Amino acid sequence: MTASRIAIELRAVSKAYGSADCGPPVIDGLDLRVAAGDFVCLLGRSGSGKSTLLNLVAGLDRPSSGEVQVHGAGPAMLFQDHALFPWLNAGENVELALRLRGRAKVDRAAEVDRLLRLVRLEGMSGRRVHELSGGMRQRVALARALAQGSDILLMDEPFTALDATTRSLLHAELIRIWTDQRLTVLFVTHDVHEAVGLGSRVVQLSSHPGRVAREWSVGLSYPRRSEDPAVRTLTLDITARLQEEAGRHARP
């Protein structure tokens, strides 16, 4: 599903905080390229800079040094917390993104219906946030992200708070939407099984500071089942590499 065009590129990117960015770097000299149509999962220990990297790509923060290039419309972002507005219903939450884009009112209702159908929430437009399950809320949040009109989707552990069954269902829905909409996805997770189940590439970040330590091209067809030998082998390999990284930082 990859293409030759590059959607996201980070060159020698470093990010530090503190006065004049003089603190210890969270990310240091990081290089990463994401092709258009790729689904890249970022793995790493807490403190490896995964969320910082996503914020830099989203334009929510600036690198201390290096260059971040995003080719195309500004990325849409989906967080662990759905961040829906509770005083708006599901359709109004999605419509807000269309309104901010300047879409004409006459077109917005049809587009809201289309996006809610896309995330399998037909007939749910009038539901308030408190009337929706956790999985439904994340579907609405995904529809709102897609309403921003970007072909790049940044996802920061969006399914962590959901139960295993709901996560599995949303994994399948996300793969379907990624394929149908020809999106580029950069997905942060702590879960190796999730990364192997979703990603066309898996990238491991080192810790303190974050750099690209290893990456794997997955090359397995969907759906991917954890009991499949190729899936299990890759999952064990990535887990072993993460444990090696954890062991290095545990040593005195």
- Answer whether residue 102 is part of any domain: yes
**Residue at token pair 């300047």:** 102
- Answer whether residue 54 is part of any domain: no
Contact (Cβ atoms closer than 8 angstroms) between residue 80 and residue 26: no
Q: What is the pLDDT of residue 152?
A: 96
Contact (Cβ atoms closer than 8 angstroms) between residue 77 and residue 156: yes
CA distances from 154 to 1, 238, 251 (A): 17, 22, 34
For residue 164, give the amino acid letter: A
pLDDT tens digits for range 23-40: 788 999 999 999 999 999
Q: What is the pLDDT of residue 18?
A: 74
How many residues in the chain? 252
Structure token digits, residue 101: 């884009």
Contact (Cβ atoms closer than 8 angstroms) between residue 173 and residue 120: yes
- Answer whether residue 191 is part of any domain: no
pLDDT tens digits for range 42-78: 998 887 889 999 999 999 999 999 999 999 778 999 9
Q: What is the pLDDT of residue 45?
A: 84
pLDDT tens digits for range 169-226: 999 999 999 999 999 999 999 999 999 999 999 999 998 888 999 999 999 999 999 8
pLDDT tens digits for range 116-147: 999 999 999 999 999 999 999 999 999 999 99
pLDDT tier for residue 21 given thresholds of 50, 70 and 90: low
- Answer whether residue 251 is part of any domain: no
- Answer whether residue 58 is part of any domain: no
Q: Angle, nearest 10°, between helix axes 134-146 and 90-100?
A: 20
Q: What is the pLDDT of residue 41?
A: 97
- Answer whether residue 1 is part of any domain: no
**Peptide bond before 63: cis, by omega within 30 degrees of 0?**
no
- Answer whether residue 73 is part of any domain: no
Eight-state DSSP code of residue 89: B
* Structural domain span for residue 101: 84-149
Give how many domains the chain has, as a whole number. 1
Q: What is the pLDDT of residue 20?
A: 62
Contact (Cβ atoms closer than 8 angstroms) between residue 206 and residue 242: no
**Peptide bond before 86: cis, by omega within 30 degrees of 0?**
no
Q: H-type helices in 59-128, by residue range?
A: 90-100, 105-118
The whole-model pTM stands at 0.91
Question: What pairs with residue 42 in β-bridges?
Answer: 188, 203
- Answer whether residue 96 is part of any domain: yes
Q: H-type helices in 32-87, by residue range?
A: 50-58
> Minimal CA–CA distance to 171: which of 249, 216, 226?
226
